[in-house]
């Protein structure tokens, strides 16, 4: 009976050993060395079509595919949850507390998202446009810096990126002027014909059907992979084309939709936002 019992034990252990061996073979990518981090940055260079973005330009207006002239007075957006990947499939996600950035066209210093990642050669970059639902619902003491709801005027005043009435972040704020806008659209006392696109919403309890959090993945192979090393700055230079707001997959005219905030139409614009980003080059 003892011999038979031992044989049964051996038979039970064999498949476990095989599964263990297979598991190690199927995981050819060891963990990154968290103690071997090096500087890495992503540059968000705002443009409009084939032109540099200039705020409040009234002498040479931009023109969208609908033939509408417009100028831009504000463009700012959240970038978060940066992740880099190697050709062999290893990925490293920047620690969340260090992975939230507010890119403001009015402040060129904010165009760089500077982080630290393990040394390596990276062929892919992934990031989120907006603020994820987990961070959006964290206690206020976990939402500091650019995520402070009171920063920049709070709510929707000035450059604020937070809806106080809706307890949520504005992921993307784009404002300007266009002569095609009807005089009675927003009743601006200054007589300006303004368009405003404030895109947010993470599918929370207040509006579960509106989830405008978008993830963008950039292939770095064609224009230069990021070779991250200590002692030097690797920088991925992206162009961010604001014209795609109007001319993306869900193209629309300013006259037809001069304003979009917390509405179903905002979900169409959110799709266009993912098409704004293109890789120009990498500096190593």
Contact 158, 150 (CB under 8 A): no
User: For residue 274, which of 244, 252, 237, 251 has the smallest C-alpha distance?
Assistant: 244
Q: Is the dihedral of CA 99, 247, 200, 206 positive or negative?
A: negative
Residue 142: DSSP 8-state? G
Tell me: the pLDDT tens digits for 176-203?
999 999 876 554 555 679 999 999 998 7
Cα separation, 57 vs 80, whole angstroms: 30
User: For residue 32, which of 96, 79, 84, 98 has the smallest C-alpha distance?
Assistant: 84
Torsion region of 187: left, alpha or beta (phi above 0 gives left; psi -120 to 50 gives alpha): left
Tens-level pLDDT at each residue, the chain (284 residues)? 444 444 444 444 444 333 334 433 343 344 677 778 999 999 999 999 999 999 999 899 999 999 999 999 999 999 999 999 999 999 999 999 999 999 999 999 999 999 999 999 999 999 999 999 889 888 888 888 999 888 754 444 446 899 876 668 999 999 999 999 987 655 455 567 999 999 999 877 666 778 999 999 999 999 999 999 999 999 999 999 999 999 999 999 999 999 999 889 999 999 999 999 999 999 99
User: For residue 117, which of 129, 109, 125 has the smallest C-alpha distance?
Assistant: 125
Cα separation, 283 vs 281, whole angstroms: 7
Domain residue ranges of the chain, discontinuous segments joined by +:
38-283
Contact 237, 43 (CB under 8 A): yes
What number of H helices and E strands is found in the chain? Answer: 4, 17
The structure tokens 């199927």 sit at: 26
β-partners of residue 46 are 240
């Amino acid at each position: 009976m003892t011999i038979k019992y031992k044989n049964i034990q051996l038979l039970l252990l064999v498949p476990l050993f095989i599964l263990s061996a297979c598991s190690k073979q199927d995981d050819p990518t060891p963990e990154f060395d968290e103690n071997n981090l090096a500087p890495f940055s992503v540059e968000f260079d705002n443009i409009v079509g084939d032109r540099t973005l200039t705020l409040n330009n009234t002498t040479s207006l931009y023109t969208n595919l609908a033939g509408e002239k417009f100028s831009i007075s504000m463009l700012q957006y959240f970038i978060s949850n940066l992740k880099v990947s190697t050709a062999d499939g290893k990925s490293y996600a920047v620690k969340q507390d260090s992975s939230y950035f507010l890119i403001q066209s009015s402040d060129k210093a904010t165009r760089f998202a500077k982080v630290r990642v393990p040394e390596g050669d990276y062929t892919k970059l992934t990031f989120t446009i907006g603020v994820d639902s987990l961070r959006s619902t964290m206690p206020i003491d976990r939402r500091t810096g650019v995520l402070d709801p009171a920063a920049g005027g709070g709510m929707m005043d000035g450059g604020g990126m937070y809806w106080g009435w809706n307890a949520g972040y504005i992921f993307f704020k784009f404002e300007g002027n266009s002569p095609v806008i009807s005089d009675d659209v927003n009743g601006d006392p200054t007589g300006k014909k303004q368009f405003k696109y404030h895109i947010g919403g993470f599918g929370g309890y207040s509006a579960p059907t509106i989830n405008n959090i978008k993830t963008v993945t950039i292939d770095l192979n064609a224009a230069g992979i990021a070779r991250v090393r200590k002692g030097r700055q690797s920088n991925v230079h992206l162009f961010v084309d604001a014209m795609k707001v109007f001319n993306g997959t869900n193209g629309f005219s300013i006259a037809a939709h001069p304003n979009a905030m917390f509405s179903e139409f905002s979900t169409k614009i959110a799709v266009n936002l993912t098409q704004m980003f293109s890789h120009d080059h990498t500096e190593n």
